Amino acid sequence: MNGDPLPRRTFLANLVLGVASSLGLGALGARFFAFLSPPAPPEREVEFSAGPLAAIPDGGGAIVHLPSGHVALERTGDGVRAFSAVCTHLGCVIQWRPDPTAAWFCPCHRGRYDRAGRVVSGPPPRALAAIPAEVRGGEVFVRMKLHAREDLA
């Protein structure tokens, strides 16, 4: 440089350009990070009929395939317990296979769950998710949470 001061017009043009570039990059960055973590869609609880209670033997279990997912049902007299039938290890559908220590079995990697859905043995990291269920008029009903975007038609 020859020591001449920067003209005022050039300084102001560079300042405006720098501020506008910073604001533009900041807005673009904010949109990018919003894309990486989109807001969760609202959930709603929907009730489904899981079939007649008489279809499940007393003290036995069954897997029901509903439009919203797979449900494991265990009959306890006139009542029923329900869990997600998706293994917490890798997502396989479990089966009813009672033995002295367990009731639910995952055929993929030999995970075992007790009647309360707790892990007995194998690689599953956590218990099966409980699903609210009740019996009305001899019919089993389960309440499942669905995202508002899911279409069951």
Tell whether 92 is covered by a domain. Answer: yes
Rounded to 10 degrees, what is the CA torsion of 15, 20, 22, 24? -170
17 and 57 assigned to the same domain: no
22 and 48 assigned to the same domain: no
pLDDT (tens digit, 0 to 9) for every residue of the chain, 153 residues total?
A: 566 788 888 889 999 999 999 999 999 988 888 878 777 767 778 888 888 888 888 888 888 988 878 889 998 888 899 998 898 888 889 888 877 777 888 888 888 998 888 998 888 899 998 999 999 988 999 988 776 655 554
139 and 93 assigned to the same domain: yes
Contact 62, 152 (CB under 8 A): no
Task: Tell which residue, 56, 42, 41, 40, has the closest CA to residue 142.
Answer: 56
23 and 52 assigned to the same domain: no
Tell whether 153 is covered by a domain. Answer: no
Q: For the chain, how many structural domains are there in total?
A: 2
8 Cβ contact partners less than 8 Å away, ≥ 6 residues apart: none
**What per-residue confidence (pLDDT) applies to 153?**
47
The pTM is what?
0.65
Tokens 């449900």 locate to 71
Tell whether 105 is covered by a domain. Answer: yes
30 and 69 assigned to the same domain: no
Q: Which domain holds residue 7?
A: 1-39
17 and 68 assigned to the same domain: no
Contact 113, 107 (CB under 8 A): no
Task: Tell which residue, 96, 66, 75, 61, has the closest CA to residue 138.
Answer: 75
59 and 26 assigned to the same domain: no
The β-bridge partners of 144 are 46
